[in-house]
Amino acid sequence: MRIRTAVLISGRGSNLKSLITACSAEVFPAEIVLVISNVPNAPGLNHARAAGIPQQVIAHTEFQRREDFDSALDAVLQEEKIGLICLAGFMRILGDGFVARWQGRLINIHPSLLPSFRGTRVHERAVESGVRISGCTVHYVTPEMDSGPAIVQAAVPVGPDDTTEALAARVLEAEHKIYPQALKMVADRSVRLENGKTVFGAYRCAGEFLINPAEG
Ligand code: GAR
């Protein structure tokens, strides 16, 4: 039985696309059965449409309180018997109640090597700071934003002349590799969240989930 997975987006949806591609493999432990956007007409919804995946828009602007948006979202996810949620460029903070309810079944991708550069304007801040390595992280979502334990990370070099856009594009390529990898690990229970930490079962060797920037 493949785990019924929902992907939540707010925009372009390139990570959604990489997850759809991975899930279309003959053998994959997750099936994307629903795509939800909090932004009407988000371009990423086209990827769901092209793949024949049901989609829903739950516009946060229609709710006065964050909890009401979270409840509406939760109701749809329960109704669809979702077992796993992937946030993929979903730019809404989810409340503590929602996060607690979905703990261990809610993962996110962030375009930095967490805990560096939490929040927004990530690539701009990375370039400004002069770091030589940035990257991306797939992590379990916990109540504090961008703070949950990592499942997979990829390191990406930062060139001395990199613009924000150049770095963003390089990191995005790595995101498209690690998100499917992390989804597979969570869905087939090779990893789990326990006492606020990621516990690795079958994947004990760091080489399995570190993407080496030298590989190009
Ligand atoms: C991605 O770079 C993702 O890591 C980032 O938004 C972008 C969405 O792109 N997410 C965050 O910054 C969350 N804190 P996409 O819509 O093409 O997948």
**138-190 per-position pLDDT tens digit:** 999 999 999 999 999 999 999 999 999 999 999 999 999 999 999 999 999 99
The pLDDT tens digits of the residues spanning 117-149 come to: 999 999 999 999 999 999 999 999 999 999 999
* Secondary structure in 3-state letters for 170-183: HHHHHHHHHHHHHH
Domain 3-215: top CATH class: alpha beta
Task: Identify residue 11 by its one-letter amino acid code.
Answer: G
Q: At what angle do helices 14-23 and 164-187 cross, to 10 degrees?
A: 30
Domain ranges of the chain: 3-215
The pLDDT tens digits of the residues spanning 71-100 come to: 999 999 999 999 999 999 999 999 999 999
The share of the chain scoring above pLDDT 90, in percent, equals: 92
Longest Cα separation, the chain: 50
Outline where the chain has alpha helix (H): 14-23, 45-51, 66-79, 96-101, 122-129, 164-187
Q: Whose CA is nearest to atom 6 of ligand 1?
A: 89
Residue 15 near ligand 1, beta carbon < 6 Å: yes
Residue 109 near ligand 1, beta carbon < 6 Å: yes
